[in-house]
């Protein structure tokens, strides 16, 4: 099936945030998941988030990370251009990044901002939800809005989601993913318990600011030996109109801390069935490229961002951007494609873009179709990624934009 080529694709106006690795990793020679370090060196090594594989950090929550020395990048700096399809190919980093720096001293996001999730509201306004860390290490979720995607205005009175004492997210909340249906906002997030185990929670709001959280997580770790046995995090939820189902892509960590992109399906957004669970263990939608020598994502993948696109012929397709890393290596953003809901395996079987990665030294992508362009919000590497959220676009922006 041809998923990448020179035939033009017209991006769907509608944002829908949101296989086959079949190669099961032997793992016996892999390093165990490292202990969580203390917080304020935050987001750095989370490497979105291969918990012990995206080069060791587990997560931007419960212990966000310690700066890790990044080796020189030996990946190509030039990419072949598929000019007919805006959804494939490299992204150009915006000249004046970051577009959302961390907050001022004393603010809830003064130590770090990370893990953006961007949606479009009425009138073309963009809303971003993002993970925030204050000087004491408290992890919360904030929001900001923008009329053109470049200049962002924070909500000044504090975060929109905070930890709940005695709950599955008592140690912190992070990694938001948002769906907006025109009247209701749904935010999926990572919740951290006191022991550092991540689970996925859900909150809803009528105005995008005041949220009510479900009391229990909607997704827990898998069973022994599962690809997500050590924790589930970094959700990316979309609503598939063709199937009338919610799709939840998320990062699952195995017992060795390696990340795979997993998938669960739901009719109502509350009760979920893992992909492939009927075979005994849930299967990754996209796992590390273990059989590709020298692949940038050979050890760990995670932090999915999924977008629906429509081909010139009217065929529905899916695009998946994700963070990937080699063992002990740098983190970059890759791209994979899949058929749409009219195809039986659409959204389940993914083909990697042959010219990956599409963005160097970047993680935590959130891609939105905006105007005639694609905007990717992300955290920058190897600089201090806790300094802010950056922007890259598929078509380069002029300095006047």
Q: What is the CATH code of the structural domain delimited by 9-69+86-393?
A: 2.115.10.20
Instruction: Give the DSSP H/E element, type plus range, for residue 316.
Output: strand 316-325
Ordered by start, the domain boundaries in the chain are 9-69+86-393
Of the listed ranges 1-10, 147-156, 206-215, the least confidently predicted one is: 1-10
Closest C-alpha to 222, from 268, 255, 248, 246: 255
pLDDT at residue 293, as a whole number: 85
DSSP string, 217-237: -SB----TT-TTTTEEEEEEE
Distance in angstroms (rounded) separating the CA atoms of residues 199 and 164: 14
Q: On the CB side of 12, how many CA atoms lie within 13 Å of its CA?
A: 20
243 against 188, higher pLDDT? 188
Given a cut of 80, is residue 12 above it in pLDDT?
no
Task: Give residue-wise pLDDT tens across range 337-387.
Answer: 998 777 777 899 899 999 999 999 999 999 999 988 999 999 998 777 778
Of the listed ranges 41-50, 90-99, 166-175, 390-399, the least confidently predicted one is: 41-50
Task: Give residue-wise pLDDT tens across range 306-317.
Answer: 999 877 777 788
Given a cut of 70, is residue 67 above it in pLDDT?
no
Given a cut of 80, is residue 41 above it in pLDDT?
no
Distance in angstroms (rounded) separating the CA atoms of residues 138 and 337: 36
Predicted TM-score (pTM) of this structure: 0.81
Closest C-alpha to 365, from 387, 389, 348: 389
- pLDDT band at 101, cuts 50/70/90? very high
Distance in angstroms (rounded) separating the CA atoms of residues 176 and 188: 6
Given a cut of 50, is residue 221 above it in pLDDT?
yes
Task: Give residue-wise pLDDT tens across range 184-208.
Answer: 999 999 999 999 999 999 999 999 9
pLDDT at residue 279, as a whole number: 66
Distance in angstroms (rounded) separating the CA atoms of residues 175 and 114: 8
Residue bearing tokens 């200049």 = 151
Q: Which residues contact 339 (CB under 8 A, 6 or more apart)?
A: 1, 3, 315, 316, 317, 318, 345, 346, 347, 349
Distance in angstroms (rounded) separating the CA atoms of residues 16 and 318: 10
Q: Does 136 sit behind a cis peptide bond, omega within 30 degrees of 0 on the bond before it?
A: no
Contacts 24+ apart (CB under 8 A), 32-35: 32/255, 32/256, 32/257, 33/58, 33/230, 33/253, 33/255, 33/256, 33/257, 34/58, 34/257
């Amino acid at each position: 099936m041809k998923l990448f080529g020179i035939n033009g694709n017209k991006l769907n106006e509608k944002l829908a945030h949101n296989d086959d690795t079949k190669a099961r990793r032997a793992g016996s020679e892999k390093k165990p998941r490292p202990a969580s370090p203390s917080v304020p060196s935050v987001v750095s090594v989370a490497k979105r988030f291969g918990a012990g594989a995206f080069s060791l950090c587990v997560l931007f929550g419960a212990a966000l990370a310690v700066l890790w020395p990044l080796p020189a990048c030996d990946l190509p700096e030039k990419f072949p251009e598929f000019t007919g399809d805006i959804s494939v190919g490299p992204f150009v980093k915006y000249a004046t990044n970051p577009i959302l720096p961390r907050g001022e001293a004393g603010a809830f996001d003064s130590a770090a901002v990370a893990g953006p999730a961007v949606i479009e509201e009425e009138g073309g306004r963009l809303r971003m939800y993002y993970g925030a860390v204050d000087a004491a290490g408290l992890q919360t979720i904030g929001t900001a809005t923008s009329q053109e995607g470049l200049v962002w205005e924070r909500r000044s009175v504090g975060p929109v989601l905070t930890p709940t004492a005695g709950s599955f997210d008592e140690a912190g909340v992070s990694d938001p993913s948002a769906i907006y249906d025109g009247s209701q906002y749904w935010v999926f997030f990572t919740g951290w318990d006191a022991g550092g185990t991540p689970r996925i929670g859900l909150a809803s709001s009528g105005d995008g600011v005041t949220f009510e959280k479900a009391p229990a997580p909607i997704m827990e770790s898998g069973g022994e030996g599962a690809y997500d046995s050590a924790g589930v995090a970094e959700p990316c939820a979309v609503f598939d109109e063709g199937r009338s189902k919610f799709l939840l892509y998320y990062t699952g960590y195995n017992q060795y801390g390696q990340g795979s992109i997993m998938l669960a399906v739901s009719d109502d957004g509350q009760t979920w069935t893992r992909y492939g669970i009927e075979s005994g263990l849930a299967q990754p939608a996209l796992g590390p490229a273990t059989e590709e020598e020298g692949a940038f994502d050979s050890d760990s993948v995670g932090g999915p961002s999924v977008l629906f696109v429509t081909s010139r012929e009217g065929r529905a397709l899916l695009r998946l951007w994700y963070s990937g890393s080699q063992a002990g290596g740098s983190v970059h953003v890759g791209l994979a494609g899949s058929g749409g809901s009219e195809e039986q395996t659409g959204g389940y079987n993914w083909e990697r873009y042959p010219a990956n990665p599409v963005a160097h030294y970047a993680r935590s992508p959130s891609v939105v179709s905006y105007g005639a362009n694609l905007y990717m919000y992300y955290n920058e590497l190897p600089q201090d990624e806790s300094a802010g959220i950056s922007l890259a676009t598929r078509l380069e922006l002029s300095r006047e934009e």
